[in-house]
Amino acid sequence: MATFDHDAALARAGANVSGFWGRAAFLARRYPLGAAGLLLVVLFVVTAVFAPWIANRDPFTTNARASLAGPGGGYWLGADFMGRDMFSRIVYGARISLAVAAGATVLGFAIGIAIGLAGGYLGGWLDLATQRVMDIMQALPLLVMALVMAASLGPSLQNTIIAIAIALVPNVARVVRSSTLSLREQPFVEAARAAGLSELRIAVRHVLPNTMAPLIVLATAQLGSAILTEASLSFLGLGVPEPHPSWGRMLSESAAEYVRTAPWLVIFPGIAISLTVFGTNLLGDAVRDIFDPRERT
């Protein structure tokens, strides 16, 4: 089966493909918005990993005398109504948002890949049953499905990951199934059967790797949706509970009561959410253009 040779495609486009940095420089020039999105994502990942060294205060320590302190001085982005440092809470909030988004994406993709691969490759009653379940789940928008699951499971970090992961399953299963339906009819599958390989090995070792390109594109797109969904659940009180510094919960605690008297409590968490989702969306668009030949000039 013919596969996409990325280096050959770059060479035909006039890129220097002599090394990793040559390919990276070419892709950055060709997809500047994607490069900007990647920088934003890397920035927040670095912030999450090195949060103890970046934050200048303990995000859980309260100080009644600093309640609603404005930005500047000892509190770079101000303090909340309990006197907790907003900069430190936003830095540690990156850990929560990215951990929930990454965990939900990995779990949701693992379940969706298993369902889509099994249904698409084996077909029959299994495919019919799984697709009807996926139809029921897809009838609800991502956020509504996550709300239903979060309300059923209760607010906690693990339950938030599970709730968002289950909401991501239908889209992943659909993508894997559609790719598997076409791949299972290819000559290389018939050749593997003729060689005596088991159906499980053919599906996992030969069919599944050929579905990776659309899955990578979907993963970058769903990562931003997962971050936004986590913030929405936390805002509604169904996501990550206190004392974890979630961006959505920061908005929930401040939006109604302090938006006029202390607007920084709303502005800075909102900017963090917007930049993270914006970066993942830009990166997802660039990855889609790179992997989709129809988008390539």
User: Which pLDDT band, with edges at 50, 70 and 90, does 294 fall under?
Assistant: low
Whole-prediction pTM value? 0.84
Q: What is the CATH number of domain 96-268?
A: 1.10.3720.10
If we measure between CA atoms, which residue out of 34, 25, 21, 20 comes closest to residue 291? 34
pLDDT in tens, 201-215: 888 888 888 888 888
- Cα–Cα distance for residue pair 158/17, rounded to 1 Å: 43
Domain map of the chain by residue range? Answer: 96-268
Is a pLDDT exceeding 70 seen at residue 10? no
Spacing of C-alpha 126 from chain mean position: 29
Spacing of C-alpha 80 from chain mean position: 28
pLDDT in tens, 66-114: 888 888 877 888 888 888 888 999 999 898 888 998 999 999 999 999 9
128-133, long-range: CB < 8 A, 24+ apart: 130/173, 131/177
User: What residues contact residue 128 under an 8 Å CB cut-off, 6+ apart?
Assistant: none
